[in-house]
Structure 1
């Protein structure tokens, strides 16, 4: 079920992936749910509502649920889009809780063609790149409840393996 207006469509394979991800314990336990995953992996919608898994002591949605329900998606989308010849990691996140969430909210993750090209170009030039992506939780009226900035690291697999090997060589030195 699309939470935002979009021309993109879900395929049978992305529907099946979305279904499986929603029952993966680290996603299911957040209380959030992936509602839409486009066939090109460039758009994903997440819904979060107050339920037994997300309720805090004061009757609003727990801050841990708010953040964890948006945590992995930019990294996963970039992994799926770039493919196995690249390495993608979450590097950092900034969270701002704007208002307590007492009902339900939604978030839209978008990966543009421009971002994909900029990422590939940066990797081609330097072997690796770090970039920030924004996302927010809002209600149907557009009221914002939380904002996030995810910092993503991407590299060519070859560059990353050389970087790890160099790191392991320097850290394996043991004085006698």
Structure 2
């Protein structure tokens, strides 16, 4: 699925937002229905640590807000989505540009809508990997999100 004008503008806004911009990451693609987002994190002077490899904080910060925003966009009004917890496991030092590919399938959105009654909430867990062009994984991030349905 390609980007829409609306998601292109959202991508631009995301990349220009000072907090996200400071991570060094860049959102490169947002599907028209927000079911997929792709992020790129280049190894630059802004993302390097004292050892010349990717700063772990940059790796986490570049992926941190993405699932919350995707879920908010996909669920729409009547739902509240927040970060509840996160965990990152570093597999190897990041010595090159890394990528992340976020996906929220329709089945997940349907499950949330069906299982949460107005006034109730649940926690959902999502995983994303940071990998290089060859597909080698450098870090795995697990995010736990609070999802609440507003009272009608």
* CA–CA distance in structure 2, aligned partners of residues 72 and 78 of structure 1: 10
* TM-score normalised by the chain length of structure 1: 0.83
The answer to whether structure 1 residue 83 and structure 2 residue 86 are counterparts is: no
Map of 1:10 onto structure 2 = 3
1:130 pairs, out of 114, 123, 143, with 123
Contact 1:96–1:148 (Cα < 8 Å) also in 2:
yes
Counterpart pick for 2:13 among 1, 15, 20? 20
Shift of 1:122: 2.0
Q: Tell me, yes or no, if structure 1 residue 56 matches structure 2 residue 49.
A: yes
How does 1:101-112 map onto structure 2 within 5 Å? 101-112=94-105
Secondary structure in structure 2 of the residue aligned to 1:26: helix
| Aligned counterpart for 1:94 among listed residues 87, 98, 108 | 87
Structure 1 match to 2:64:
71
Structure 2 residue aligned with 1:162: none
8 A contact 1:15–1:37 mirrored in 2: yes
Distance across 1 between alignment mates of 2:80 and 2:139: 28
Q: Which has the larger radius of gyration?
A: 1
Report the TM-score when normalising by structure 2: 0.96
The number of equivalent residue pairs is: 152
Q: Deviations over 1:44-80 (max 9, x none)?
A: 0000011122111110110000000000010000001
Q: In structure 1, what is the Cα distance between the partners aligned to 2:46 and 2:9?
A: 23
Long gaps (5+) in structure 1: 1-7, 160-176
Q: CA RMSD in A?
A: 1.3
SS at match of 1:60: coil
Larger relative contact order, structure 1 or 2 (CA cutoff 8 Å, min sep 6):
2
Deviations 1:18-65 (CA, angstroms, capped at 9, x unpaired):
011101011100011000001101100000011122111110110000
Q: Any stretches of 5+ residues in structure 2 without a counterpart?
A: none
- In structure 2, how many angstroms separate the alpha carbons of the residues matched to 1:114 and 1:124? 17
Alpha-carbon shift at residue 125 of structure 1 (Å)? 7.9
